[in-house]
Amino acid sequence: MNAVMNPASAKAGTNAEWHARRLAATPRGVAVMGDFFIDHAKNSEFWDIEGRRFIDFAGGIAVLNTGHVHPRIQAAIAAQLQRFTHSCYQVVPYAEYVALAERINALVPIAGPAKTAFFSTGAEAVENAIKIARAHTKRGGVIAFGGGFHGRSLFAVGLTGKVQPYKAGFGPFAPEVYHAPFPQCEESLADAKKGIEQLFKCDIEPSRVAAIIFEPVQGEGGFNPIHAEAAKWLRALCDEHGIMLIADEVQTGFARTGKMFAMEHYGVSPDLMTMAKSMAGGTTLSAVVGRAEVMDAPNPGGLGGTYAGNPLAVAAAHAVLDIMAEEKLCDRANVLGQRLKARLEKAKASNKTMGDIRALGAMVACDFVNATTGAPDADLTKRVQQAALKKGLLLLTCGVYGNTVRFLFPLTIEDSVFEEAMGILDEVLAA
């Protein structure tokens, strides 16, 4: 029998040693970007096991809008830890779950009375939103969009509109899922309208479509905001045919776009919304919220999960909502997003490899292209990411063509650390 290291001594060893052990102990399907291992963190910074410091502009993929180990969240979890860690809400309920649902219901841009159910992951929220839409409409079909990302579980990845690396080798996928072009500008709005018209003529009649699901700003797809008129068109289309409109706010929610939820930018009320990531400060919590009569469609027992609405995560989520209100993080997102966009635009003036820059609040991205042809350049994008990482700035890439750098810094980042990161970014883009 192989000896197993006590977790208390897990920090012993170098990054290289742990990297080798990772390759031996965990499957290659769980891809890991960094070849270093985190030891501790504070707000917008973390340190690896060899003592190197990094500025975190990844935020655990949009999970840390309130930063690493915010003291309010730490205190909330610690207090709950003294009371109980689990009861399974469906067996022994707890008041904090209900109180959090009430707070979410009051915040979301949904017309009329709303209800909320909690789950564990974003993909789980998405799949339950589809279940709820199907139960309400008694229909099976679902329409999603190219470039969209809705999770890695089997049904959620069927909704996802990006093959590599998410769908390759995992089919066949669930039937009755269709994709249309994502409407991010006037031209693509026309394409989206033609695409859905084609679906209705050739693949599925509107009366069999349960839901249309979309991200108000595509995350993995490249931080592409939906065109304002497209959001209104989707709402009208769903109203015309009795289809549920689902806004996937797993990445856009909780102040990232300068409003608590991105749908507030569009003046459109969805029937259902999914949320996760930054709602619980790094603990595992997701939710589906929707119109009360829609949410009540599934029979008792049709929704839930053993860990759904974990009490530690619920306590963290209450703290997150307090922090966002008291520290005015929506306003902070707009200020920081504008600063970053201005720095990128200044750099672009003398850098022909920088393409489109997109920003909605602090959900900011920049494309990188071949300076001669203007074609997407994924290799250059990786080099930008690696150059920043060598200087201690952690960035993420995304986009259908892999040529987008996205910026997901904590909204609580200190001004001095933000400016330090801007300096690193200036150096990398100049080089």
Close Cβ partners of 231 (under 8 Å, ≥ 6 residues apart): 216, 263, 266, 268
The pLDDT assigned to 3 comes to 41
Q: Residue 11: what pLDDT?
A: 60
Place of tokens 């409409």: 137
DSSP string, 5-36: --GGGTT-S-HHHHHHHHHHHS-TTS--S-SS
Digits of tens for pLDDT over the chain (431 positions)? Answer: 344 444 444 567 999 999 999 999 999 999 999 999 999 999 999 999 999 999 999 999 999 999 999 999 999 999 999 999 999 999 999 999 999 999 999 999 999 999 999 999 999 999 999 999 999 999 999 999 999 999 999 999 999 999 989 999 998 999 999 999 999 999 999 999 999 999 999 999 999 999 999 999 999 999 999 999 999 999 999 999 999 999 999 999 999 999 999 999 999 999 999 999 999 999 999 999 999 999 999 999 999 999 999 999 999 999 999 999 999 999 999 999 999 999 999 999 999 999 999 999 999 999 999 999 999 999 999 999 999 999 999 999 999 999 999 999 999 999 999 999 999 999 999 98
**Whole-number Å distance between alpha carbons of 397 and 384:** 10
Query: CA–CA separation, 337 vs 256, rounded Å?
Result: 9
Sequence-distant (≥ 6) Cβ neighbours of residue 101 within 8 angstroms: 115, 116, 117, 118
Domains, in order of start, for the chain:
7-62+328-430 (3.90.1150.10), 74-326 (3.40.640.10)
| 213 touches 150 (CB < 8 A) | yes
Distances (CA, A) of 16 to 9, 28, 34, 119: 16, 17, 11, 36
Helix (H, G, I), strand (E, B) or coil at 54: strand
Q: What's the pLDDT score for residue 393?
A: 98
The structure tokens 């809705």 sit at 150
**Residue 86: how many CB atoms within 10 A of its CB?**
12
Give me the helices (H) in 203-283, please.
228-241
Q: Which long-range contacts (CB under 8 A, 24 or more apart) does 184-187 make?
A: 184/218, 184/224, 184/225, 184/226, 184/227, 184/230, 185/227, 186/227, 186/229
Contacts of 22 (CB under 8 A, 6+ apart): 32
Displacement of CA 94 from its chain's centroid (Å): 27
116, 287 Cβ separation under 8 angstroms: yes
Single-letter residue type at 84: F
Q: Which two tokens stand for residue 26?
A: 């965990």
3-state secondary structure 267-329: CCCCCEEEECHHHHCCCCCEEEEEEHHHHCCCCCCCCCCCCCCCHHHHHHHHHHHHHHHHCCH
pTM (predicted TM-score)? 0.95
Q: What are phi and psi of 411, to 5 degrees?
A: -70, -15
**CA 39 to centroid of chain Cα atoms:** 24
DSSP string, 395-427: -EEESTTS-EEEE---TT--HHHHHHHHHHHHH
Closest CA to 285 of 327, 333, 329, 319: 319
